[in-house]
Chain A
C-alpha cells in the first residue's frame, strides 16, 4: 500500500495484455468466485417464482406463491427464532469463556505453548465427527455429559438433552458449537491481548488500577477491533449451522432445533425446490443486511 504512488507511476501506460494489468492475475480465481456467488443468487431469485413438479420433472411459473407461503410459514419463522436463540446462546458463552481462557493464557502460565496447542484441536475436528461425538456424550442413557448433569442435579433423566420432549434439545446442539468455537474465540482474543500496546497498561498500573479495572477500562476497549472480527465470523457461521443439527437431532424433536439452514435442507430433500430457492434468497438477504449493518456500525476494516 505504501508503494501505491510508485506503482501508479510505473503503470502509466498499461496495455491490456501486459503482466502489469491486475486482471490477468485475478481473472481465473475471480471467474470461479463469480460463478459461485452470482449463479446461486440469480438461480434462487428466479426459481423462487417457480415450483418443481415431480411428475413432469420440470419447473413451472407460480408467481409470488412461494413468497406468500414463506411469509405465512410458521415453520420458517420458527427456524429463524431457533437460529437466533442458538446464535445468542452460543456466542455469549463462547465470548465469555474464550475471554477467560485468553486472559488466563495471557497473564503468564507455565507451558503455555502446550496448552495452547491442545486447545486448538477441537477447532479442526470435522464438525460431522464432533456431532457424532457429542451425540454419544449426550446420550440420554449412557452419555457422560448427561450422566454428569444428572449427578449434579442440573438435569432430570426424564428430560434428557437429546430426545424426550426436546425441552433441552437446543442446549444439546449448542454444546458442540461451544466446544468447537470457544477455542477459536480464545485464540483470537489471545492474539489481540498479546499485541496490546504496553503504555496504557503501564499507565493504569502506575495509577494503581486493579486487575479488574485494567480489564474493563483498558484491555477490553483496546480489544474492540479483534472482538468485532470474532463476532463477525460467528455471525457468518451462524447462518450455515447445519452439521450438528443434521447428525444430532435432524431438527427435532418436532422442530425444536430446526435452524434456517436445516429447514432449507428439509425443503430441498422433500423436492419443494421453489420453497428452497425462496428460503435461500431470504437467507442471503438476512446475511447481507446483518453483516452490512454490522460492518457499518463497527467499522470493520480489512
Chain B
C-alpha cells in the first residue's frame, strides 16, 4: 500500500504515516457515505415526482413506491402534446369522464412563463447594471444608507404590495397583461440584481476606469466598453438568478392575473388535485417540465449561487 493519501478538498495537512493515512481514507469513505445518504434524502422528492410523471395510471399511488415500471408518456402527451383529456381517459379507463378536455394542456403556460421571465430579466439587467456601477464607483453622502434601503425593499412581503398594485393596475388597465406582470417581476428582482452586481463591480480595480478615461474614453465608454467585460460572469449569474426567481414567482402573479397571462406556478395551483385522482400525473408532468429549465440554468451559476442568494453578502 502506498503511503500517498488521496488529496481531498479541505483535508488537513497530509500525515505521511501509513496507518493514519488509511484511517483517514476510511473516514473519508464513511463521510462520503453519509453525504450520499443526506443528498439522496434531499433528491428523493424530485426523483419521486419525476418518476410519477412517467408512471402509468395507478402506479403513482402504490406503496411502497415502485421505481421499476414500464414508463409511459401519457401525462406528457396531454400536458405538452395537446392530446385532449377525454381521449386519454377514454384510452386509460375505457369511459368518458365528465371533466372537459384541454384544461391540462400547458404549453401556453410554459410560453407565458418564458415570456415573463425573459422580458423581466432583460429589464432587470438593463436597470441594475448602471445602478450597480454607480453604487460601486462613486462615493457620495449616505451611500451606505442607499445600499441598506435597496436591501430593505427586498424585505417587503409580496402580499403587502398585492392590494395596492392590484388597484393601481386596475386603474391603468394592467391587470392580466404581460407588461403588468413583467413590471412587477422586474421590480422584485431589482434589489437582488443591484446588490449582487455591485459586489462584482467592486472586484474590478478602479484603476481600470481611470486608465480608460486617461486614454480618452468618457465615463460611459469606460463603463460599457471596458468595465462591463470584467463583470460578464457576474452579469450572467445575475441574469440567470433573476430568471429563476421570476420563473418561480407565485403570489403577485396570482393576484395580478386572471386567465390571459398564466405562468406555470399559477397554472399548476389551479389544477384540481383535491380528489387524489388522475390529476397527479398531469401535475407531475407539468411540475417536471417546470423544474428542468431551472435545474439546467442553475448548473451555470453554481459558482456564484451563494453570493447571489445572499445578495452579495457572502462570497461563495
Interface set of A (CB-CB < 8 Å, partner B): 1-4, 6-8, 11, 19-20, 22-26, 28-30, 32-33, 35-37, 39-40, 43-44, 47, 100-101, 104-112, 115-130, 132-137, 139, 141-142, 144, 147, 179, 182-184, 187-188, 191-192, 194-195, 205, 226, 229-230, 233, 236, 239-240, 242-243, 246-247, 261, 264-265, 268, 273, 276-277, 280, 283-284, 287, 291, 302
Contacts and interface: CB of A to CB of B under 8 A. Distances in A.
A127 B158 CA distance: 14
- Closest 9 pairs between A and B when the two form their complex, measured CB to CB: A25-B134, A128-B265, A108-B8, A19-B219, A142-B61, A240-B157, A3-B206, A29-B131, A43-B164
B89 interface: no
Contacts of B298: 120-121, 123-124
A32 to B, nearest CB: 6
B160 A283 contact: yes
A8 B139 contact: yes
Contacts of B291: 121, 125-126, 129
A159 B39 CA distance: 29
A139 B11 CA distance: 43
B133 A126 contact: no
B233 interface: no
Nearest to A291: B155
Given A25-B130, A302-B147, A128 B269 contact: yes
A284 B138 contact: no
Contacts of B146: 26
Secondary structure of the A contact surface, majority rule? helix
A263 to B, nearest CB: 9
B45 A268 contact: no
Contacts of A125: 46, 248, 291, 294
B139 A4 contact: yes
A116 B36 CA distance: 10
Contact of B190 (A32, A124, A233, A240): A32
A179 B42 CA distance: 7
B251 A129 contact: no
Contacts of B191: 33
A236 B127 CA distance: 24
A40 B159 CA distance: 10
A7 B206 contact: yes
A110 B250 contact: no
A186 to B, nearest CB: 9
Contacts of B294: 124-126
B103 interface: no
A300 B179 CA distance: 36
Contact of B156 (A40, A117, A265): A40
Given A7-B139, A107-B10, A233-B310, A40 B45 contact: no
A26 B135 contact: yes
Contacts of A135: 273
Interface string B178-203: 00000000111011001100000010
A188 B190 contact: no
Report the contact-size class of chain B (Cβ under 8 Å from the partner): 35 or more
A196 B316 CA distance: 12
8 contacts: A1-B139, A24-B134, A43-B163, A119-B38, A132-B268, A142-B60, A240-B158, A302-B313
A132 B310 contact: no
Interface string B272-292: 010010001001100100110
> Which among A101, A129, A284, A302 has the highest number of chain B CB atoms within 10 Å?
A129
A110 B280 contact: no
Contacts of B20: none
Nearest to A145: B45
Interface in B283-316: 283-284, 287, 290-291, 294-295, 297-299, 302, 305-306, 309-310, 312-316
A182 B304 CA distance: 18
Nearest to A190: B306
B122 interface: no
B8 A109 contact: yes
A174 to B, nearest CB: 15
Nearest to B245: A124
Given A108-B10, A128-B268, A182 B127 contact: no
B9 A108 contact: yes
B153 interface: yes
A191 B306 CA distance: 7
Contacts of A133: 45-46, 48-49, 287
A118 B42 contact: yes
Contacts of A6: 206, 210
A147 B64 contact: yes
Nearest to B191: A33
